[in-house]
Amino acid sequence: PDILLLDEPTNNLDRDGIYHLEDFLKNYKKTVLVISHDAEFLNSFTD
């Protein structure tokens, strides 16, 4: 998709799942809108 919308994407993920999602988002080349209360997660892939 041209825009990826994620609402609290780390809910119910274990640490390995979160690392996998972070890696995916770091390499995703299109627009991503993420709603999350997890600042550490957000800082892992944002500029």
> How does the average pLDDT of the chain come out, rounded?
96
Facing residues of 5 across strands? 33
Residue 45 CB-half CA count within 13 A = 20
pLDDT recorded at residue 36: 98
Local confidence pLDDT in tens for the 47 residues of the chain: 899 999 999 999 999 999 999 999 999 999 999 999 999 999 999 98
Q: Based on the structure, what is the number of domains in the chain?
A: 1
pLDDT recorded at residue 47: 82
Residues whose CB falls within 8 Å of the CB of residue 46, separated by 6 or more in sequence, listed in order: none
In percent, the amount of the chain with pLDDT more than 90 equals 96
21: containing domain? 3-43
